[in-house]
Structure 1
Amino acid sequence: MARTAGARLRHALSCAGVRLVQKVSSTRLFAKAAPHVVPALDRNVHRLTRGRLLLSAQLLPGVILTSTGARTGRPRRTPLACMPEEDGRTWILIGSNFGRPGHPAWTHNLLAHPEASVSWKGRDIPVTARLLTGAERDTVWQALLAFWPPYATYQARVEREIRLFRLTGNPD
């Protein structure tokens, strides 16, 4: 079925908008401001919509990760972009920290306590996290770069290797 001129224009504007966001999200200014603004907005929108919406997920798929604090043992809720895998029960989480030097705290939490949960499309799903390494990580990294190219900029800014985790939904 042929698309109307209006549909083609909306698609072109949408693609241009995504490219603009990718460009902006690769800047150092974004890396400084986003960690303070994006998670707070996501947490509040997620709470107000009873788990049905994440603001940042309008650009990238996202989850709210509930992990156990590595040092405190307390629950920690973190809104994160993710790359859902085709099977519908696994997600890739990227410890990019917006291209800042240190690993994000949630990655330490998952290393210490891999049992966690994600809020995905309004459902809380228990998951088990596994740090990806070696050839498996390399393969997933290439898929991530196709999915969201700014990850390459984030990796280029830091000396550490950005951690990638595969979260697998636990059977009910």
Structure 2
Amino acid sequence: MASEQKSKTVRSSLIRTFMNLHVSLFRLTGGALGGNLLGRPALILTTVGRKSGKTRETPLTYIPDGDRYLLIASNGGSDQAPFWWRNLVANPEVKIEVGRRTIAAIAKTADTQERELLWPRIVAQAPNYASYQKKTSREIPVVVVTPIAQ
């Protein structure tokens, strides 16, 4: 059991290190490096930790939707929702970085009706999300990020 916990701690540390490096390269190059993940455009999402109150930065792929950004809380098809999603549910005021632009925004999970409209378009553009949905019993949330008029 102690070995399993140590393995989880090491994995978590490696993921956090990768994410920090990704965010640094993204910012240093204005998204020229890190502005694409797995062949999809990427952004940096900044949320406030629901327990810690600390800012959390996560590189994520997105799908453009007019002036909005769609994020998919797939967590690779895990049965556990990603921490970034849990954070924005607790506090929907977020910041996104797209290229060199930093944008204040409100993030909300699409309701059932909106998700049903968006999901086919999402999987048409990024088929991996359909396979992630098949891997888990939870409905993978679609998050709509809307910039706040400044």
Give the alignment's TM-score, normalised by structure 1. 0.72
- Residue 51 (structure 1) shift: 4.7
- Consecutive unaligned residues in structure 1, runs of 5 or more: 1-31
Residue identity opposite 1:99 in structure 2: G
Distance 1:134 1:67 in 2: 23
2:29 matched residue in structure 1? 49
- Residue 41 (structure 1) shift: 5.0
Contact 2:30 2:99 in 1 (8 A): no
1:125 matched residue in structure 2? 103
3-state SS in 1 of match to 2:40 = coil
- Consecutive unaligned residues in structure 2, runs of 5 or more: 1-10
1:90 matched residue in structure 2? 68
Percent identity between the two aligned chains: 33
Distance 1:134 1:97, change over 3 A: same
* CA-based RMSD: 2.1
- Residue 39 (structure 1) shift: 3.4
User: Does residue 140 of structure 2 align to residue 170 of structure 1?
Assistant: no
Distance 2:20 2:98 in 1: 18
Report the structure, 1 or 2, having the larger strand content.
2
Distance 1:126 1:55, change over 3 A: closer
Moved over 4 A (4+): none
Give the alignment's TM-score, normalised by structure 2. 0.82
- Residue 42 (structure 1) shift: 2.4
- Residue 111 (structure 1) shift: 0.4
Report the structure, 1 or 2, having the larger helix content.
1
- Residue 133 (structure 1) shift: 1.6
User: Greater Rg, structure 1 or structure 2?
Assistant: 1
Contact 2:73 2:140 in 1 (8 A): yes
- Superposed, 1:66-81 pairs within 5 Å as 66-81=46-61
